[in-house]
């Protein structure tokens, strides 16, 4: 019987033939689960904090798997999976302070989790029941933004407001690698740099802008673009929750102290489809996916916890059971979710009702009454 040796590249993507060389990557936890040090970024975490991070990662993935299944069964209109990007989102989300404000795209379910957003309030958006069921002020987590890159301008404007209020807070904008080609994103960089706005631009480079690979999007690593705008950029192993936590904490602290914006490139991989309407087998090879599975963010933290004796089988079984309970609650809540009244589309267009919207609402009601018997 031939022995099989599992080879894991210590720097994600460094030896991948479809990717350029990947320099300057911050890593604190190798794919094998070994803790390493970095000269610029250190992180002191307790055993309990490590177990809590693992719980976050595992439960968010369980939510994601259940939501994907619900969409495949016709219960959701669409779903944008975060599988593979859990460490990037949980690490960044747990780095946020209570007063900090997050501006997501449409995939930041992990960040939503860290801000206390109920998964069903996200599910209702993808089911078409509302435009987002959570309170952005209470959660400090803005509503999802589908217009690519627009949230970077929102975050920059919010950060400039923080400056004028002299508040001890920062804003963070989440974006993907494809969004860096958008005009709104580059405009946000210019404004943020010019005004030293307390904002962090957190880019999850998951290697594809839908179907366009990163090497066709940029001739240089994305984090190096920040220098052209006049603020620092850093690349972090996006599958290492500890490194992401350390780097994001440092960038947010820098923003709060008045030193301006930072661009973080979380080098990660989208394990699933862009959305449930996408077929990734048409533009990437199965070998590539298998290569990245060896760098799975949950598996590496589990390996560290197990080998270091910081978590046992009972702990992992408990998390799995909690995940099953969460999935059951999500499924039950989704299937029992009431359809919204048609008039709700008129209720929150403006802070106060206008005559024009009121007239449209009345016309809609009159039209609907024509079908009633």
Known catalytic residue at 283: yes
DSSP track, 105-137: -S--HHHHHHTT--HHHHHHHHHTS-S--S-HH
Known catalytic residue at 144: no
Catalytic residue from among 72, 283, 348, 367: 283
Known catalytic residue at 270: yes
CB 245 within 8 A of CB 35: no
Catalytic residue from among 107, 270, 295, 300: 270
DSSP track, 30-74: -TTS-B---SS------HHHHHHHHHHHHHHHHHHHHHHHHHHTT
Catalytic residue from among 107, 274, 300, 304: 274
User: Is residue 185 classed exposed, middle or buried when 0-12, 13-18 and 19+ CB atoms within 10 A define those classes?
Assistant: buried
- The pairs formed by 15-22 with CB atoms below 8 angstroms and a separation of 24 or more are 16/288, 16/291, 18/213, 18/215, 18/288, 19/207, 19/214, 19/215, 20/215, 20/221, 22/221, 22/235, 22/267
Catalytic residues: 270, 274, 283
């Amino acid at each position: 019987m031939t022995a099989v040796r599992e080879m894991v590249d210590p720097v994600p993507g460094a030896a991948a033939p479809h990717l350029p060389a990947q320099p300057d990557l911050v890593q604190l936890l190798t794919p094998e689960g070994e803790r390493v040090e970095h000269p610029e970024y250190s992180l002191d975490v307790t055993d309990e904090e490590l177990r809590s991070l693992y719980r976050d990662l595992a439960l968010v993935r369980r939510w994601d798997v259940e939501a994907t299944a619900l969409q495949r069964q016709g219960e959701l209109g669409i779903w944008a999976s975060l599988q593979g990007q859990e460490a990037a989102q949980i690490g960044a989300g747990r780095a946020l302070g209570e007063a900090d404000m997050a501006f997501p795209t449409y995939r930041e379910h992990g960040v939503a989790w860290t801000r206390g957003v109920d998964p069903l309030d996200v599910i209702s958006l993808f089911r078409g029941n509302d435009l987002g069921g959570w309170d952005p002020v209470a959660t400090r987590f803005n509503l999802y933004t589908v217009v690519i890159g627009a949230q970077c301008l929102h975050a920059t404007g919010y950060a400039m407001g923080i400056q004028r209020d002299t508040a001890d807070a920062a804003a963070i904008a989440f974006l993907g690698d494809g969004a860096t080609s958008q005009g709104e994103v580059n405009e946000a960089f210019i404004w943020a740099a010019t005004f030293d706005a307390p904002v962090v631009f957190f880019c999850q480079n998951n290697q594809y802008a839908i179907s366009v690979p990163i090497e066709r999007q940029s001739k240089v690593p994305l984090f190096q673009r920040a220098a052209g705008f006049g603020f620092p950029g850093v690349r972090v192993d996006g599958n290492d929750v500890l490194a992401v936590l350390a780097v994001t904490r440092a960038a947010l602290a820098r923003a709060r102290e008045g030193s301006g914006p930072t661009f973080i490139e979380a080098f990660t991989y989208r394990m699933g489809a862009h959305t449930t309407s996408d077929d990734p087998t048409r533009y990437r090879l199965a070998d590539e996916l298998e290569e990245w599975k060896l760098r799975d963010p949950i598996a590496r933290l589990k390996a560290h916890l197990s080998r270091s004796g910081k978590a046992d089988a009972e702990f992992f079984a408990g998390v799995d059971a909690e995940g099953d309970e969460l999935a059951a609650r999500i499924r039950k809540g989704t299937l029992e979710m009431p359809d919204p009244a048609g008039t709700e589309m008129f209720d929150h267009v403006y802070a106060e009702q206008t005559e024009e919207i009121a007239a449209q609402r009345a016309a809609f009601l009159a039209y609907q009454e024509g079908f009633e018997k």
